[in-house]
């Protein structure tokens, strides 16, 4: 019995290590998949619920952050960051020049977007309340037929 529990524990650790992960960056590009929700601004961002996070080491990629900065929905990022319990982001995004000249800012943003991963939990739409399950770092956006 003890052995079984031990094996189960080892598998869960192993699984946790080996399956997918989703960077928080990606969350800034995901909205509710239900078509009728798209017109409402409340369907974005999706709200993490019972979220399990994991962080890993990724080389800082200043070129990527500078390129993506204009595409980030900063307000949504601020919401996501607050909901996951990270320190408050400023109300408005930095300019590209600020990002390029401020090493700490670059590292903080990198750490939040590229090194923080959503592993388990749910993503909830603020309009329809639909909960998209996240298992092993892979959110499932498939909808039942009455929502298609």
Partner 1 sequence: MEYLIRFSQSHETFRLPELQALAVLEGIDMEVVSYSLDSPFCIIRLPPSSPPITTTTLARRLIRRSILAMSIHELWGHGPDLASVHAAVKSTTSPLWPSYLSCSFKFTLDSYQGSRTSDQKVSIINSFSYLGFMGPIKMRHPDQEFTLHELWPFNSTPLGIPEPNHLYFTRYLGSSLRDLPKKLDLKKRKYISTTSMDAELALITANIALAGPGKLFYDPFCGTGSFPIAVAEFGAVALGSDIDGRSIRGDGREKTLKGNFEQYGLLGRLGGTFTADLTNSPIRKQELGSDGDGVRGRVFDGIVCDPPYGVREGLMVLGVRDPEKTPWVERKGREMYKQADFIPPRKPYGFLAMLDDILQFAAQTLVDNGRVAFWMPTANDEEQEMPVPSHPYLETLSVSTQVFNKWSRRLICYRRIPDKDVDSAAVKAREERILVGKTADELNPFRKAYFEGFQTPPATTGTSTPAAPATETPPPN
Positions that interact with partner 1 (CB under 8 A): 14-15, 18-23, 25-26, 29-35, 38, 44, 56, 58-59, 61, 63-64, 66-68, 70-71, 73, 114, 131-133, 135-148
Rounded least distance, CB 4 to partner 1, Å: 19
Neighbours of 131 (CB within 10 A): 15
Two structure tokens written together for 8: 């189960």
With contact defined as beta carbons under 8 Å apart, do 133 and 120 qualify? no
Measured from the CB atom, the residue of 2 and 28 that comes closer to partner 1 is 28
Rounded least distance, CB 146 to partner 1, Å: 5
* Partner residues linked to 53 by β-bridges: 118
**Max CA distance (Å), the chain:** 60
Rounded least distance, CB 13 to partner 1, Å: 12
The radius of gyration of the chain from alpha carbons, rounded to an integer in Å, stands at 17
Measured from the CB atom, the residue of 39 and 88 that comes closer to partner 1 is 39
């Amino acid at each position: 019995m003890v052995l079984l529990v031990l094996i189960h524990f080892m598998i869960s650790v192993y699984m946790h290590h080996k399956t997918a992960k989703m960077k928080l960056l990606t969350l800034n590009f995901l909205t509710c998949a239900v078509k009728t929700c798209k017109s409402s601004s409340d369907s974005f961002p999706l709200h993490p619920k019972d979220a399990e996070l994991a962080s890993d080491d990724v080389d800082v990629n200043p070129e990527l952050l500078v390129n993506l900065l204009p595409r980030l929905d900063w307000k949504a990022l601020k919401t996501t960051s607050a909901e996951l319990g990270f320190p408050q982001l400023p109300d408005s995004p930095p300019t590209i020049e600020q990002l390029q000249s401020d090493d700490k800012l670059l590292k903080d943003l990198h750490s939040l977007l590229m090194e923080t991963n959503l592993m388990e939990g749910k993503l909830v739409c603020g309009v329809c309340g639909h909960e998209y399950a996240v298992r092993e770092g892979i959110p499932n956006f498939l909808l039942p037929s009455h929502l298609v």
